[in-house]
């Protein structure tokens, strides 16, 4: 078994004993256990865990890092896919304008059709001072960078919360966005919203 896969000796012995010496069944159980571990650690479904586990040549750590570094998609859709789509990328920055490198996903993508549900709340806080060049930004830039400090983000969150919606998918989308913003504002000084139009 150890000639086929990289596995600790004690684990190999334990699996072989459990499976009456059947190497193929023991190897499959070893991989299934690893996929389960990846699923739990990266908080993803087993199919995503399996795909990344195989792509990372059965390295659990690399698979978890790969899954955690993916951009999350905040949308009203049932099957999100951000490939070459127009929308907005959001990420947290520190007081020096540096992106955060954390174990969990930092960036979020919101398709334009979904961002339209909250764009007025983001537009409502302008004019704002750009923290890096100190110039006054008079309006929200739909095809560039927009910088929102913590205080401004809390105003935006409050305004999103106060806008009522009867559509369940839209309400769920807004809640996911608020959760993402709240999570990042635990440590970030700025949230950047970049339109990729």
For residue 24, what pLDDT band results from cuts at 50, 70 and 90? very high
170 in Cβ contact with 117 (< 8 Å) = yes
User: Length of the chain, please?
Assistant: 197
> Which residues, 6 or more positions from 94, have their beta carbon under 8 angstroms from its beta carbon?
100, 188, 189, 190
- Residues 66-76, mean pLDDT to the nearest whole number: 86
User: pLDDT digits over 101-140, tens only?
Assistant: 666 667 899 999 999 999 999 999 999 998 888 999 999 9
For residue 44, what pLDDT band results from cuts at 50, 70 and 90? confident
Beta-carbon neighbour count of residue 107 at 10 Å?
Answer: 18
Specify burial of residue 131 (Cβ count, 10 A radius: 0-12, 13-18, 19+).
middle
CA separation for the pair 53, 62 (Å, rounded): 8
197 versus 103: the higher-pLDDT residue is: 197
- Residues 85-89, mean pLDDT to the nearest whole number: 91
Q: What percent of the chain has pLDDT over 90?
A: 65
CA separation for the pair 185, 154 (Å, rounded): 9
pLDDT score at 43: 82
User: pLDDT digits over 45-69, tens only?
Assistant: 999 999 999 999 999 999 998 888 7
pTM: 0.72
> Which residues, 6 or more positions from 192, have their beta carbon under 8 angstroms from its beta carbon?
90, 91, 92, 93, 145, 146, 147, 148
pLDDT higher than threshold 70 for residue 86: yes
∠ CA 184-118-139, nearest 5°, is 90
CA separation for the pair 139, 97 (Å, rounded): 20
Q: Which residues pair with 192 in a beta bridge?
A: 91, 147
H/E stretch holding 93 reads strand 87-93
Nearest to 171 by CA among 104, 116, 112, 117: 117
Please provide the average confidence, as pLDDT, over all residues in the chain.
90
């Amino acid at each position: 078994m150890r000639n086929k896969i990289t596995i600790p000796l004690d684990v190999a012995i334990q699996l072989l004993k459990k499976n009456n010496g059947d190497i193929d069944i023991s190897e499959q159980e070893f991989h299934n256990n690893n996929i389960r571990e990846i699923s739990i650690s990266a908080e993803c479904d087993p199919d995503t865990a399996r795909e990344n586990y195989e792509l990372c040549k059965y390295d659990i750590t690399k698979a978890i890092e790969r899954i955690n570094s993916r951009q999350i998609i905040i949308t009203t859709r049932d099957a999100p896919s951000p490939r070459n789509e127009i929308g907005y990328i959001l990420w947290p920055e520190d007081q020096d304008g540096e992106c955060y490198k954390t174990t969990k996903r930092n960036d979020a993508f919101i398709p334009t059709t979904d961002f339209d549900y909250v764009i007025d709340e983001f537009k409502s806080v302008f004019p704002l001072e750009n923290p890096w060049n100190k110039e006054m930004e008079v309006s929200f830039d739909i095809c560039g960078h927009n910088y929102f400090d913590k205080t401004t983000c809390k105003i935006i969150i409050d305004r999103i919360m106060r806008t009522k919606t009867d559509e369940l998918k839209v309400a769920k989308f807004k809640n996911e966005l608020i959760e993402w913003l709240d999570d990042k504002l635990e440590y970030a000084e700025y949230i950047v919203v970049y339109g990729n139009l």
